[in-house]
Amino acid sequence: MTLLLTQMTDSKELTEIPVPHTPANLAPEDASPTGQLEPTEALMEELRAKSEELETATPQEIIAWAAQRFGTKLTMGTAFGPEGCTILHMLSEIAPETPVFNLDTGYQFKETLELRDRIAEKTGIEVALLKPETTVEEYEKLHNGPLYITNPTQCCADRKLSVLKKAAVGMHAWISAIRRDQSPDRARAPIVGWDKKFNLVKINPLANVDKSWVWGMITKHDIPYNPLHDQGYTSIGCWPCTRAVMAGEDERAGRWSGTEKTECGLHTLDEDD
Ligand code: SF4
């Protein structure tokens, strides 16, 4: 199936970008016998060059490239933040068959889960809720209480990272919704790179945009968003680890507030990345 993208963007008009959503166009040497992508030298070089080339591209152009390059092996993860909702809107116009998942830890706000249905209604994209092996009740019983209090890093590893590792099997690339200006660690994210943690190519179409671009898209296209944002929650994760922020605070100050933790681990880069 081929779509023609003719959307106006804030910076320029895109005209008729063909996006064939076909099986992944990979060199045979890039895929292992299990179908997983191998980080060959040739692939790494391709990603480096493409990332540099896409530095000046619009998010729509980056998504269109990813859909064309990885076809049915492309996936996206979202926690339904404003950035993710914006990408879902763009995906619905560019490559609506792309499978999208949410890591449903069991601790998400009800507003977040309701947003999944509002997004489906608006964009036609049904985000799959991927759950850990244990329910919240089983998990807390196993650990004599909630680990988000005593060991949030382990809790995120068990209820987010291990779930994504399983979801990554058989896929070649994933789209994330991070922006470089969100944190020093995210500032180092390339547009396209190799994600060692999950053995996937990672595409960050919003790396170069800022918060006002995202909210501009939401307003312009009437994209559904989490109503908690109107109550001071600038960044929303699981309810036990999220609070509203005060005026002047960093937009991620409400995540794991009062602890050293700033990321769940999905988007942290290794030192040698
Ligand atoms: S954000 Fe909090 S509740 Fe959610 S998985 Fe991480 S530690 Fe657990």
DSSP codes, 185-233:
TGGG--SEEEETTTTEEEE-TTTT--HHHHHHHHHHHT----GGGGGT-
Q: How far apart are CA 124 and CA 92, in angstroms?
A: 7
Tell me the per-residue pLDDT of 202-238, one tens digit each, with 9 for 90 and over.
Answer: 999 999 999 999 999 999 999 999 999 999 998 899 9
Closest CA to 194 of 41, 81, 63: 41
Q: Ligand 1 site: residues with CB under 6 angstroms?
A: 105, 107, 148, 152, 155-156, 159-160, 237-238, 240-241, 264
Work out the average pLDDT over 257-262. Answer: 79
Q: How far is the CA of 212 from the centre of ligand 1 (A)?
A: 28
Atom of ligand 1 nearest to the CA of 237: 1
Tell me the per-residue pLDDT of 169-201, one tens digit each, with 9 for 90 and over.
Answer: 999 999 999 999 988 888 999 999 999 988 999
Instruction: Please report the pLDDT score of residue 256 as a whole number.
Output: 83
Note whether 178 and 206 are within 8 A (CB).
Answer: yes
Pocket test for ligand 1, best of 107, 133, 134 (most atoms within 8 A of CB): 107
Instruction: Please report the pLDDT score of residue 186 as a whole number.
Output: 87
Nearest CA to ligand 1 atom 4: 238
Q: How far is the CA of 177 from the centre of ligand 1 (A)?
A: 19
Residue 246 binned pLDDT confidence (cut-offs 50, 70, 90): confident
Number of other residues whose CB lies within 10 A of the CB of residue 170? 11
Q: How far apart are CA 213 and CA 266, in angstroms?
A: 23
Reduced to 3 states (helix: H, G, I; strand: E, B; else coil), residue 154 is helix
At a CB cut-off of 8 Å and minimum separation 6, what does 169 contact?
36
Domains of the chain (ranges; CATH) run 2-229 (3.40.50.620)
Q: Is the pLDDT assigned to residue 271 strictly greater than 70?
A: no
